[in-house]
Structure 1
Amino acid sequence: MEKRIAIIGGGIVGATAAYYLSTLPGSEQTKVTLFDDGTGQATTAAAGIISPWLSKRRNQRWYRLAKAGADLFPELIHDAQLGTDVYQQTGTIVTREVPTDLETLFDLAQERRHDAATMGTVTTLNAAEVQAKVPLLSRAQPGVFITGGARVDGAALVSGLLAKATQKNLTIRRERVSLDAQGQVLTSLGARQFDRVIIAAGAWLKELVAPLGINAAVRPQKGQLIELAVKDYPLNENMPVVMPEGERDFVPFGHGKLIVGATHEDDGKFNLAADPAVTADLLGSAQRLMADVTADNITGVRVGTRAYTADFAPFFGPIPDQEKFLVASGLGSSGLTTGPQVGRLLAGSALYGGTPDWSEYELPLTTYLTSSAE
């Protein structure tokens, strides 16, 4: 008997779930429909850094999830036959000005290498060595270089995964939908019933699950980044990503393209308008590390909406007592790192059912989802 699954939200979680729902055993008996109008999606506005190993976060569940996501990426990119324009292990450089801080960072990297083979090799670089690897920088800082770090183009990743899934069992509907109290998906063509519904709509989860009598403790946050046209270095198209101390992240994509950002604007909420003051702040960060960069170098501004929880931790899985619905939200600024692992887990749960134990990655869902009657 054919199983019908809906996915609401086509960002990193929804797209990865759709891909695995088209490839996992049993997918040949599954029909998947993805709904997304594209408005405000964090993934397509992001150019991400896959390098969670030196994070200052103390949340070990988050770290295990992020590490699993980083480990999954090479396999996912290979299996989906996506190219280096989507994902590239260029390495990442995390800088520190104070020598003792650099030593502490290096020691942490060495410690975490023991159970994170994807990290590759770890070395310290002086400022001149950093500049040699990233000649865009005219004011380089010393740092720790991790060869396994990577950059990913969120929009290209989502597009590639969805294209693969549509070749098998996925239909994409570019529209905004809602749910009713009976759990039906309300579409432009009327109400539709599905066997399972994956709700991967980020900060919009709150309004989607409200008709089910559920309050989701998640809030929106605005993120903005800029694209710059910079000098091209034909012999060095795969420069490492740089995470400079006290500045915005630098994500070189080769061929004279550089991404700088992104911001974390709690007051911005669902506002998708580019803020000139924020653009100027991002440009200022670039100018402090690069010579001769002006506003004329800006070729684009991207704005998206992230989802956050009070403890900055993600949550995902079947809704307690309403297992037909699976949710994911709260991924924040690490969504491109953690999202593929979350999407893969949700796809398996939607296909095979059961009560998965994901406590190694998250707190109980009741931490974030409560009955609105309470």
Structure 2
Amino acid sequence: MQKRIAIIGGGIVGATAAYYLSTLPGAQHLKVTLYDDGNGQASKAAAGIISPWLSKRRNQQWYRLAKDGADLYPQLVHDAQLGTEVYQQTGTIVTRAALPDLEALDALAQERQKTAPTMGTVQQLTAQEVQAKLPLLTNPQAGVFLSGGAKVDGGALVDALLTQASHKNLTVRRERVKLDQDENVVTSLGAQRFDRVIIAAGAWLPELLVPLHVRTDVRAQKGQLIELAVKDYPLQENLPVLMPEGERDFVPFGHGKLIVGATHEDDKHFDLSLDAAVTADLLASAQRLMSGLTDQNITGVRVGTRAYTSDFAPFFGPLPEHDRFLVASGLGSSGLTTGPQIGRLLAGSALYGGTPDWRNYEKPLATYLTSSLA
């Protein structure tokens, strides 16, 4: 007997869940339908750096989730046969202007490497050595290089995972859906009943859960980044990514494409319009690292909507008092790092059931989800 599973949201969590629901043992007995209209999706707009190991966040649950998410990527990339245009482990450089800060960063890296072998080698670099690894820079700072760091194109990753799942048991519906108080998914074809529903709708989760009388601690945040055409160095696709102190992230891809960003705009919420002032600010950040850039180098602007919680931590798991539903949200700017691990865990729970214990990764769901009837 086929089991019917719906996924609401086709970003990094939903796409990864769909992929695993097409490959895990027992997937042949599933019929999976994913709903997403694509409007404002954070993952589609994102180009991310997979390098969580030097984060100064005190939330150890988040760090374990992010570390395990980074660890999952090589296996996911291998199993899904993803190309270097999607994901590439090229190393990460994190810079500091002051020598004491650089020494402290290096010490942190050496300590965390003991429990995170995926970090690869750790190397302290002078400004000249940073420039040698990343010749696009004309104003380099000294930094710490982690060979295990990687870059990922969020849109390409989501598309690749959904395409593979669609060859097996996934149907993608490009539409926006709702829930009703009877726990149905309300689609353009009417109310549909599913055995399990994974809701991975990011910042749109609060409005989806209103019919179920659930309040959600999630807010929307606008993010923008720019694409630049730069000199195409030989083997540019192998250049490391840069997390510069005081500036926007610097992510070189192949064929002379450089991505700079992203912003964190709390007051813009679901606004997807391009903002010339923000574009100019992103360009100015790039210019402080690389001279000679002008607005003529800008080839595109990406805009998306992230989901954040009050404590900046993600949450995921079974929706209290609604056993057929699994939810995930609040991934923020680390969504491309934590999202695949969350999607994999939710897929396993949707397929096999049970009561998973994810306390190692998150606070109790009651921290973020409360009844609106109370």
In structure 1, the partner of 2:96 is 96
Pairwise CA distance, 1:201: 0.3
**TM-score, length basis structure 2:** 0.99
Alignment of 1:339-354 (within 5 A): 339-354=339-354
In structure 1, the partner of 2:157 is 157
Q: Secondary structure at the match of 1:97?
A: coil
Alignment of 1:219-368 (within 5 A): 219-368=219-368
**TM-score, length basis structure 1:** 0.99
Contact 2:236 2:255 in 1 (8 A): no
Stretch deviating more after TM superposition (42-51 or 315-324):
315-324
Q: Which ranges in structure 1 are unaligned for 5 or more consecutive residues?
A: none
In structure 2, the partner of 1:181 is 181
1:285-329 deviation digits (Å, cap 9, x = unpaired): 001111100000000000000000000000000011211000000
Aligned-residue identity in percent: 76
In structure 2, the partner of 1:202 is 202
Alignment of 1:104-183 (within 5 A): 104-183=104-183
Contact 2:236 2:256 in 1 (8 A): no
Alignment of 1:25-36 (within 5 A): 25-36=25-36
- The CA distance in 2 between the partners of 1:128 and 1:217, in whole Å, is 45
Stretch deviating more after TM superposition (236-245 or 191-200):
236-245
Q: Secondary structure at the match of 1:203?
A: helix
- The CA distance in 2 between the partners of 1:84 and 1:40, in whole Å, is 25
1:123-177 deviation digits (Å, cap 9, x = unpaired): 0000000001111100000000000000000000000000110111000000000
Q: Secondary structure at the match of 1:22?
A: helix
RMSD: 0.6
- The CA distance in 2 between the partners of 1:338 and 1:237, in whole Å, is 24
Task: Give the count of matched residue pairs.
Answer: 374
Pairwise CA distance, 1:56: 1.2
1:76-122 deviation digits (Å, cap 9, x = unpaired): 01000111110000100000011110010001011111111110000
Contact 2:150 2:241 in 1 (8 A): yes
- The CA distance in 1 between the partners of 2:276 and 2:113, in whole Å, is 41
- The CA distance in 2 between the partners of 1:179 and 1:320, in whole Å, is 16
- The CA distance in 2 between the partners of 1:239 and 1:50, in whole Å, is 14
- The CA distance in 2 between the partners of 1:254 and 1:57, in whole Å, is 32
Q: Does 1:83 align with 2:83?
A: yes
Q: Secondary structure at the match of 1:266?
A: coil
- The CA distance in 1 between the partners of 2:235 and 2:150, in whole Å, is 19
Q: Secondary structure at the match of 2:267?
A: helix
Question: 2:139 is aligned with what amino acid?
Answer: R
Question: 1:101 is aligned with what amino acid?
Answer: D
1:40-61 deviation digits (Å, cap 9, x = unpaired): 0000000000000001111000
Q: Secondary structure at the match of 1:265?
A: coil
